[in-house]
Amino acid sequence: MVRNQFLLRLKPGKLDEYKKVLAENDPGMISLIEAHGIKNISIWNSAEFIFGYFETEEELSFNDEEKEFLDRFEDRMKDVYEYISERGKHMRLMFDAIGEPEESKEFIRKRAFMTKLDLGMQEEYKRRHDLLKANRPAPDPSKPKKKSASNNFTIWNASRYILGYQEINTLLEEPKKPEPEGYINPWETYMLQIMSWISPFNGSMDLLYSRD
């Protein structure tokens, strides 16, 4: 499975127009989605930013007719948004703790989040997450594998922006325990040395569109 993503910046005052375009469910776009088996699409908004995520079985490759259709669509939208990521290319993978994605999304709660890195902190962010991944305890083969509520969790980078996507199985999700008064999350404090939140901390970007 290939995880695809994009990041856009809306032109001032264009969010409602972008929502209107999403609601149209353009027949040409739907045909293209179905022709390439594009699935698990979600499109998110925070501030002036649009983050899109979708999955395909293989890397996308369009024929000339499809490319012309996409070019016409992008030309139509040139006054609505501009690309931050590079159109048609993956953003840089920063952290991959995917878990086991659920085939059915019936009991899945989706979440997307976004932060902005301080100037020049892309490599430091990657270094910290590489260390986090390297220090993760190895599974104990003597114990049965426990299914996690959190899965399909991946983080990417475009320009100074960090985008994360996560799926949470609500059947396995445990109630969140309230933090003691005055508690400060050490990892969060550590990461706020080099970034700031755009989406709500511990929350999600706003889901504008979803198609499983």
Could you read off the pLDDT of 21-40 as tens digits, one per residue? 999 989 999 999 999 999 99
Domains of the chain listed by start with CATH number:
2-211 (3.30.70)
77-86 residues labelled b (16+ CB within 10 A) or e (exposed) = beebbeebbe
Could you read off the pLDDT of 40-62 as tens digits, one per residue? 999 999 999 999 999 999 999 99
